[in-house]
Amino acid sequence: MRFNGLDLNLLVALDTLLAEGGVTRAAERMHLSQSAMSGALARLREHFGDELFVPVGRRVVRTPLAEALAAPVRDILMRIDAAMTQRPAFEPATSARRFVIAASDYVIAVLLEPLLARAWDEAPGVSLDLLPVDAGTEMLERGEVDLLLLPRQFTLPDHPSATAFVDSYTCVVWEGNEAIDRKLSLKQYLAAGHVAAYLGPGRAPTFEAWAMKRFGIERRIEVQTYSLSSCARLVVGTGRIATVHTRLARQLAAAHPLRLLAPPAEIPEVVIAMQWHRHKALDPGLAWLRRLVDETEAAREQVATRPGRSRPQR
């Protein structure tokens, strides 16, 4: 099918080329030969009267026109996909749908683990593909994830979102750390070495690191890790401190020799949002998944309000 002289099948090829940045990777993703993908690129160049991709040193980069085409081409394909996959209803008990969720290991531990048990009861045929969150916003824009879970301030302004849950921060030290008693002072906090997580290939800071920098607190980071859930475990046997999400800290303290302490300075609460593509706003299956998130969090809050819950020592 053609529209204004362009074979619409070439839009898919163009979108893949723009996403992958080259013929080889685009061909692999589309399960085509390199010669077939090169032919598609040649036809696209002829249609637009532009090279679209040019060599710069050892790299291939987009031309200004290709940069300008990326967002609208992706948007067109997302609209088509939303129209073609629109379902009148979603039946959890009989569905075999696969949902793709991007989330950190922390969110997986405190939210998605209990959510999986709830999903098993309601929709035993549904499967979940859990991906790292570091490239989550780009994947959401491309329509490659159904649900993105990340701190509110990192969400995309052009797509709908809702609060999944709210958490606070706790300082974690080894139970055998005799230099720090039941109360952690700011002087002790700044003097100690720290374990911190930086996510993804770009070593993006976490919300906790972002908040520390915003409030002018400079820590001496002695151990960097890519995993939020490993931060607390890595202080065991040392005099270091990890500042981690309270829910995660409580989970880990139940299985490791850790002591939980209140931070010596106020750290803002972190709001974890769930976000989905605007073209999937009416997707009944995604509405079910979001409801599952809300119900899982409501059940956790009910348990958390019972008497006897331990809190960080002050």
- Per-block mean pLDDT, blocks of 10 residues, the chain (314 long): 64 86 85 87 88 85 88 79 68 95 96 95 96 89 93 92 96 94 89 87 64 75 92 96 95 96 89 93 93 94 64 58
Query: Each residue of 139-172: pLDDT tens digit?
Result: 998 889 999 999 998 899 999 999 999 999 999 9
CATH topology agreement for domains 2-84 and 169-268 = no
- For tokens 């009267």, what's the residue? 49
List the beta bridge partners of residue 270.
Answer: 167
For residue 251, what pLDDT is reported? 95
Annotated domain spans of the chain? 2-84, 98-166+271-304, 169-268
Query: Each residue of 31-79: pLDDT tens digit?
Result: 888 888 888 888 888 888 888 888 888 888 889 898 888 888 887 777 7
Q: Which fold has domain 2-84?
A: Arc Repressor Mutant, subunit A (1.10.10)
98-166+271-304 is a CATH 3.40.1190.20 domain: no
For residue 211, what pLDDT is reported? 67
Give the C-alpha separation, 120 to 141, whole Å.
29
State pTM to two decimals: 0.72
* CA 115-116-117 angle, 5° bins: 90
For residue 151, what pLDDT is reported? 92
Q: Which long-range contacts (CB under 8 A, 24 or more apart) does 6-14 make?
A: 6/47, 7/43, 10/40, 10/43, 10/44, 10/47, 11/73, 11/76, 11/77, 12/77, 13/37, 13/40, 13/41, 13/44, 14/40, 14/44, 14/52, 14/69, 14/73
Selected from 3.30.70.100, 2.60.120.10, 3.40.50.300, 3.40.190.10, the CATH number assigned to the domain covering 169-268 reads 3.40.190.10
